[in-house]
Chain A
Amino acid sequence: MPRKKELSFEESLARLESIVAQIEKGDTDLQELMANYSEGIQLSKNCLMSLERAEKAMDLMVQEKDGQIIQSELTIEGK
């Protein structure tokens, strides 16, 4: 299946899981089987890549004063 945009990790994983489940049912024809297989392999590569790429996001501290959200970087003592 052609993909327009890059899938997020969770979308990729969900798609991979559904492909595995579909192949496990065993009622696909050869062409579909091979298409599913190569898509599944690509998805698992993408998933692993995004897991490895994941970097620590900047943490935030938020407060609300007079209806305004005040946002600042969160610093952790002794981290």
Chain B
Amino acid sequence: MAVYSVSDVTRYIKSLLSQEQALQHLMVRGEISNFRCYPSGHCYFTLKDAASTLKCVLFSSRARRLRFQPVNGLQVVATGNITVYEKDGAYQLLVDTLLPEGTGDLALAYEQLKEKLQAEGLFDQAHKQSLPRFPRRVGVVTSSAGAVLRDIYHVISHRWPAAQIVLYPVQVQGEGSAEQVAAGIEFFNRRHREQPVDVLIAGRGGGSMEDLWSFNEEIVVRAIYASKIPIISAVGHETDFTLADFAADVRAATPSQAAELAVPDRSELVRYVDSLSARLVQITKRQLQNKRLRLNAALQSTALRAPQQLLAERRQRLDKASLRLQQLMEAALKQRRHRLELALGKLDMLSPVHVLRRGYGLIEHGNSIVTSVKQIKPGDELVLTFKDGRIRATAGDKLPTLPEHKADMRKGVS
């Protein structure tokens, strides 16, 4: 009986197993345990069920492609080939793909990536940019064929025809589509000088989670986050959000809605401008009315009225004063006239004429009035003046003095 080396036996078993078709590309269901990854990127774990365990190896090239992070206790379906690890003399499953059982692996991957990017701040509201009000150029990253571009075109040409659509055509599903979408977003940012756009729409029509998957890929989410141009995500799915939606500045449920968000509505703007000019007219009228009211109020105020009033008052005072002056003058004049009249009356009484009227006569001798007998000698020429004329007379002899004259004579001639 031949004696074999350990290596010979192991190699023989290995060759047997590798020829067994049933052990190639098989799928194995089990629960992950003892999962560990090494710095090399290779991962090792054990799949187990109630009765057995199976060693598994996940090389780094495969591990990198996983859309979720395997953890202990997770029920998975592993695809791969059974091989023998000669050094340990143990068979193991070389894992090609690993899918979580129950939950789809996409859903799991989605949750895991979402958590990771959220922790990094890629979905932060503070990072969101606001959309331009009146974009001239709208960059679109989507498929050149299909309803999405047509929907966007129709909405934009209806609402805001002045806006120019700049399409960067990409595949939106399948192998390499995520990279293309990310490249499109990156293109508009990098070549902004040559192809400037004011806003970006990145999206695709609705579909299954697998169809939409490129918009859940990290490369797309990061491109959206890094974009300096505001981005509207438009993945045609009303209910579910893609990770692109979370990272976008604005999320639209459909491509049509994205276009509506991207450009203003012309007829709405016409109404808006109309309302602005109507308001302009209205408030200007109101302002004018206010100013008129204020002017009137000011005119009514004493402050402005005062000069006129003051003038009137002064005029009135002047009128009064001049009237008083006139009255005083008249009174004074009257008084003087009266006094004059009195004086004249007295004067009249004293006047020789008045005396003559009473029957007295005036005797002149030479040029002087004769008031005494002693001024006259008999034979002197005298002139006698009466009230109605003068007459010459010649003085005769002296007569004896009348008794009533004696007192006078004693007083006057001592």
Contacts and interface: CB of A to CB of B under 8 A. Distances in A.
A41 B284 CA distance: 11
Contacts of B167: 59-62, 74
Contacts of B287: 23, 26, 28, 33
B133 interface: yes
A14 to B, nearest CB: 9
A54 B156 CA distance: 12
A20 B154 contact: no
A56 interface: yes
A57 B137 CA distance: 9
A51 B194 CA distance: 27
B131 interface: no
B283 A23 contact: yes
A37 B194 contact: no
B166 interface: yes
Interface string B263-283: 000100110011011011101
A55 B280 CA distance: 28
B288 A33 contact: yes
Interface residues of A, number: 40
A44 B291 CA distance: 25
Contacts of B163: 57
Contact of A44 (B133, B280, B290): B280
A54 B150 contact: no
Given A10-B134, A59-B167, A76 B269 contact: no
B168 interface: yes
Contacts of A10: 133-134
Contacts of A62: 166-168, 187, 195
Nearest to B133: A10
Given A30-B291, A76-B149, A76-B153, A48 B270 contact: yes
B145 interface: yes
Complex A-B, nearest 8 residue pairs according to Cβ-Cβ distance, in ascending order: A44-B277, A57-B164, A59-B165, A54-B162, A56-B161, A40-B280, A37-B284, A47-B273
Interface of A: 9-10, 13, 16-17, 19-20, 23-24, 26, 28, 30, 33, 36-37, 40-41, 44, 47-48, 51-52, 54-64, 69, 71, 74, 76-79
